[in-house]
Amino acid sequence: MTVAGGLIARNRSRFDGFPEPLLESYESSLRALEPRLTPTQLEAWSQGGLDLMAISLRSWESAAEYFKAGPQLAESTPWDTYEQLAREAGDLTEQSAPLAVSFLRSAPATLTHIGPNHLAQWADFGRRLYKGNWKSSSLAAQFYDAGPDLFGTIRVSHAGRLVLFLDELARHSYELAAACLTSAPEVLGRLEGGDRMPFLTFGVELAQTSWADSRLYFDRGVPLIQRVHGPVRERYLTLAAQVARDHSRSVFQYFEDAAHALGEVEPDDHGPVIELAEQLAPHSAYAAMDFISNAPEVLEKVHIDELAAWQNHGLGILASSKEGGEAYFRLQSSRGEEVLDTLSARVELAKVGDVLRLYAKALTGRNISIHAAAVLAEKGIGWVDEERASTDGTTIYLPEVMELYRAKEENFAAVKVFTTHQAARLEFGSFTFSFDRPSTLFEDLRPTIQEAPGANPTTEIERFFDLFPDRTLASDIHKIAEGTRIDAAITRNYAGIRRALTRMQREELARRPEVSELPLRQAFVENLVRVSLDGTDALRWPAAQQDAMSNGISVLQQLMAESASIEDTAEATLRLYQLAMSIKNEREEGDEEWDSLPDMDQESLQLDMSDLGGEGAAMEMGEPQEGDVEYESPQDIDFRGDFKPELVQLLMKLRDDAELGDAGQISPDQLTEEQLQELLEKSAEIDLDTLLEGDLQNTTGMFLSNLLKEAGTPTLDSDAQSDQPLSDLSTGAEEGEEPLAPIVTTYYYDEWDFRAQDYKPRWCAVKEAALEEGEDEFYEDTLKEYAALVAQTRKQFELMKPELFRKIKKLSDGEDIELDPAIEWMIDVRTGVSPSDKVYWRRNKVDRDVAIAFLLDMSASTDEEIARRDQQYDDSDDDPRKYLSWWVTKRRQELAAPPKRIIDLEKEATVLLITALETIGDDYGIYGFSGYGRDNVEFYVLKDFDEQFGETTKKRIDKVTPIRSTRMGPAIRHAIHKLSETEAKVRILVLLSDGRPQDHGYGRDRTEKEYAIHDTKQALNEAKREGITPFALTVDRAGHDYLKTMCEDMGYEVVGDIESLPRRLPALYRSLTE
């Protein structure tokens, strides 16, 4: 009998009362293990199982698994492990049989991954998760079950961290922990080995601080973390963990944003960015994460090398003020923006546009606008490039951002060269070509050429280009020739820009393609480009054909003369075209030498000229020859931008026609659509394929209507829009779609963050609109109701009206001697006292020069009834009858006269004030404000400064109603803007409200008051700085506390008796302005 058989026989009785399969598995287990174990070991093994069975009622289940597990262990498993397994199983079974079942079931597979040495550790992990209750037991069981999967991917040390994480989560939610555990093998499997530990470490922190995010983290964390450059992932996670440790709010959000941001940064730059963030972390983890999140935006403006400088500046702020530093890195501080601008090398058109506009205007003497090139491309009128500078004759278009160089000055110099070149086209008449006007330098060939019969060109330049069979070549040469002329004119006239221009020419030369690889005609054109860039030494040309080239060069160089005109450009184009046509467009196959040209002396130049122009005979325009390679235009020259004289002349003509049309005249040769279409099809300046897609008919149709719209031709309905200048940044006007909707203009203002001691740039959007009109009854009724008061106020105000001339006495110099002081003078002289010489008088003109803005609070709280405030029922008296009678009385009163609300009084006071102001003739504006959130500060105009008081104003007052919140700061700032546009000497801003400023997001949370009050205070301070006298008036009885903070040394008043407001306001106005 085998050892196993003996054991089975001996122990069979112990299986009585247990399910049959238990014994079966016992038997098979022993038999399977018999060959591996010594008899003693086998007996010990058997005993282990039997002990398990005895532990508790259900422990046989774990024993069953125990028996199954044994044979599954690897053959090489040392005996120690069997023993250990038995020990752990026993231990676990004592705690929970199902737990032990799971443990034993996955033990064999797990052990193959972790090896026998880690068995105890693994068991411990599970135990750690088990807290003695049902849910924890199932989590721990799940953990054991997952063993093979889990350890197939991660190491034991990782599992320890994972357990820590799960344990932490389980404290809040077992479901969450279970879900994370389920996905753990897959999630961790997607990570690279080295990343797992930090990933889990951060997870633990997250679970501790904001556990609800853990699920998100597990679901979305991996792709996020993979956005971070491999070598620095760990540091990033450590950093994120630090945030989690220091703070509990929205940790995952920070993690996610920053990871996304890093994904947009060059991988090589991740290291430096994270390093800089690490320096910030000890001061503020938020700042560190915001720094990373905003890195892409910052790096768009500054080079990675300068990032440290930006960070360093912020670090300084952070060290002294945490709030300030955090705002800095959140990019919500003006200082941060300034530093960024200073460091940034790139030049943004939005920032320099105004300077360039005046610059171009100075150069050309015309009203030039400056716009981004993209704007021109959008118009769909022939220009397609969104990056290249160009002009359409009235506007200069420039690239939106210039970042060619590493220094700001260099970039600006480049923009200036771009602008100057475009401006010079206008200054030196690139678009004023006239076919019949003679040139100054050449013998005119234009009249000698046979024009196509029946042609009816629209523009002069079109007529010129019609002369050429190969229009593209002609257009290219013309462009090069004109560029040469313009560059020469710039160099001559603007010595200061010469250096920058030369530099750009040199750089352009370096970018040119290799000449000797081009077909010959193209090489000829390319060489012309080089000459025009002042790069005669960069020419390469077959020595055998030297004549054509030197002729070409000398023609081109003629255009550098001071007297060269656009007509000279045309003449040069004719000659160069002819030369180009004389050269076959084929590749030079032979071993012909490409040489630089020998220096040409002045004499040969003269000779060439006479050669070219002197023939006098009709000129032959060559036809493209058979066997040529198809001609391709030369590479564009960057700083010269697009040059489209045909289109510009056409636009000019259309514009002129439009003007004539406006003036009621009909242009004698109004363009027909057919003409335009013809031009469009033949012009080399328009690439219809790139311009618009779709069938040709359609495309040209759209193109034409775009063109007509651009020119403002009256036949199309585009009247008002084209006349209006594109609004600048501060007043980006949005026009309502429906004609009835009020026009809303949006303004942006900074907001003061008192914690950061800095402004949040362009934080609030103030939307200004005229208030809608109601009935004028309210106005008239108020006047009736307060008839007596109105009369009284008027009288008082009339007294304020100054005399036009006031006699000022006792002056040392004046119009005439005043009698009284003259007599005194005489007496003094006679009595030997030194007399006063102030004996003259003069009339001085006194003007009342006052502008006042009233800001009415239209917040929801003004809806409150005044009666309710004043006649609150006294709760202390419980007698229901008394209450009833009080209520009935009140109700009756209300029915007789509806109770007045605060807003009604505000309105009444406004009406009275208007009558007073109209009497005295001061300039005034009345505005209401409300809104919700920083993006929607509503600013209603009841009466603007330059608006006349009239029916409209009366009707608008009717529509003053309580709306929403009170964000005072931006409203005040906008009122300041309005006031500063008036020219009055005395400017006053009166703020009329019913309570403290408050709005959504106007402070850290709903209950915070300081932020709003400080911003309002700052806004009032700004008013003072502008020379405006602010005055706050509130009907809130509790107003003293915050008004004191808000107004400090400024005037304010709390109107205690609300109903006296209509009376008080005019009186107050007098005291303010007298």
Partner 1 sequence: MAPGGLVLAAEEFTVREEPYYLPLGDEIELFEAAFEQRIPVLLKGPTGCGKTRFVEYMSWRLGRPMTHISQGGEAPLDDEGPRPFVTVACHEDLTASDLVGRYLLDTDGTRWIDGPLTRAVKTGAICYLDEVVEARKDTTVLIHPLTDYRRLLPIEKLGQVVEAADGFLLVISYNPGYQSALKDLKHSTRQRFISVEFTYPTREQEAEIISHESGVDLAVSIELAKLGEKVRNLKEHGLSEGVSTRLLIYAGRLIERGIEPRRAAQVGVTWALTDDLEVQRSIEEVVTSIFE
Would you tell me which residues interact with partner 1 (CB under 8 A)? 354-359, 361-367, 416, 420, 493-499, 815-817, 822, 825-826, 829, 835, 837, 839, 842
Minimum distance from residue 362 beta carbon to partner 1 (Å): 4
3-class state of residue 987 by DSSP: strand
The smaller minimum CB distance to partner 1, of residues 499 and 801, is found at 499
What is the three-state SS of 702-765?
Answer: HHHHHHHHHHCCCCCCCHHHHHCCCCCHHHCEECCCCCCCCCEEEEEEEEEECCCCEEEEEEEE
Minimum distance from residue 816 beta carbon to partner 1 (Å): 7
The smaller minimum CB distance to partner 1, of residues 18 and 494, is found at 494
What is the three-state SS of 134-169?
Answer: HHHHHHHHHHHHCHHHHHHHCCHHHHHHHHHHHHHH
The smaller minimum CB distance to partner 1, of residues 613 and 835, is found at 835
Minimum distance from residue 490 beta carbon to partner 1 (Å): 9
Minimum distance from residue 745 beta carbon to partner 1 (Å): 22
Q: Which residue has tokens 């030196």?
A: 428
CA 453, CA 448: separation in Å to the nearest integer? 14
The smaller minimum CB distance to partner 1, of residues 363 and 396, is found at 363
CA 930, CA 995: separation in Å to the nearest integer? 13
The smaller minimum CB distance to partner 1, of residues 565 and 998, is found at 565
The smaller minimum CB distance to partner 1, of residues 357 and 653, is found at 357
Element (H, E) at 843: strand 840-845
Minimum distance from residue 495 beta carbon to partner 1 (Å): 4
Minimum distance from residue 422 beta carbon to partner 1 (Å): 13
Q: Name the phi and psi angles at 958, rounded to 5.
A: -60, -30
Which contacts of 735-743 are long-range, i.e. CB under 8 A and separated by 24 or more positions?
A: 742/769, 742/770, 742/772, 743/769, 743/770
Which of 323, 484, 313, 461 is CA-nearest to residue 393? 461
Minimum distance from residue 817 beta carbon to partner 1 (Å): 5
Minimum distance from residue 409 beta carbon to partner 1 (Å): 11
The smaller minimum CB distance to partner 1, of residues 474 and 851, is found at 851
Strand order in the sheet with 1051-1054: 733-734, 744-753, 758-770, 937-943, 923-931, 850-857, 986-993, 1028-1034, 1051-1054
Instruction: Tell me the two tokens of residue 788.
Output: 């007596």
The smaller minimum CB distance to partner 1, of residues 363 and 671, is found at 363
The smaller minimum CB distance to partner 1, of residues 64 and 497, is found at 497
Q: What is the residue type of 940?
A: Y
3-class state of residue 917 by DSSP: helix
Which of 780, 658, 656 is CA-nearest to residue 713? 658
What is the three-state SS of 428-479?
Answer: CCCCCCCCCCCCCCCCCCHHHCCCCCCCCCCCHHHHHHCCCCCHHHHHHHHH
Minimum distance from residue 325 beta carbon to partner 1 (Å): 30
Q: Where are the beta strands (DSSP E) in 640-724?
A: none
The smaller minimum CB distance to partner 1, of residues 280 and 851, is found at 851
The smaller minimum CB distance to partner 1, of residues 811 and 986, is found at 811
The smaller minimum CB distance to partner 1, of residues 774 and 835, is found at 835
Q: Which residue has tokens 């991660």?
A: 154
Which of 980, 432, 855 is CA-nearest to residue 653? 432
CA 1030, CA 1024: separation in Å to the nearest integer? 7
Neighbour tally for 745: CB within 10 Å: 17
The smaller minimum CB distance to partner 1, of residues 360 and 979, is found at 360
DSSP secondary structure code for residue 409 in this structure: H
Minimum distance from residue 835 beta carbon to partner 1 (Å): 8
Residues with Cβ within 8 Å of residue 851, at least 6 apart in sequence? 922, 923, 924, 925, 945, 979, 982, 984, 986, 987, 988
The smaller minimum CB distance to partner 1, of residues 14 and 838, is found at 838
Which of 925, 904, 927 is CA-nearest to residue 770? 927
Minimum distance from residue 425 beta carbon to partner 1 (Å): 15
Q: What is the residue type of 537?
A: D
CA 1035, CA 1065: separation in Å to the nearest integer? 12
Minimum distance from residue 428 beta carbon to partner 1 (Å): 14
Instruction: Tell me the two tokens of residue 448.
Output: 């000698």
Q: Is the dihedral of CA 549, 555, 559, 562 positive or negative?
A: positive
Minimum distance from residue 355 beta carbon to partner 1 (Å): 5
Minimum distance from residue 496 beta carbon to partner 1 (Å): 5
Minimum distance from residue 820 beta carbon to partner 1 (Å): 13
Write the burial class of residue 740 (CB in 10 Å: 0-12 exposed, 13-18 middle, 19+ buried): exposed
Residues with Cβ within 8 Å of residue 425, at least 6 apart in sequence? 391, 431, 482, 486, 643
The smaller minimum CB distance to partner 1, of residues 145 and 923, is found at 923
User: Cβ distance 812 to 840 under 8 Å?
Assistant: yes
Minimum distance from residue 982 beta carbon to partner 1 (Å): 15
Task: Determine the length of the chain.
Answer: 1074
The smaller minimum CB distance to partner 1, of residues 197 and 497, is found at 497
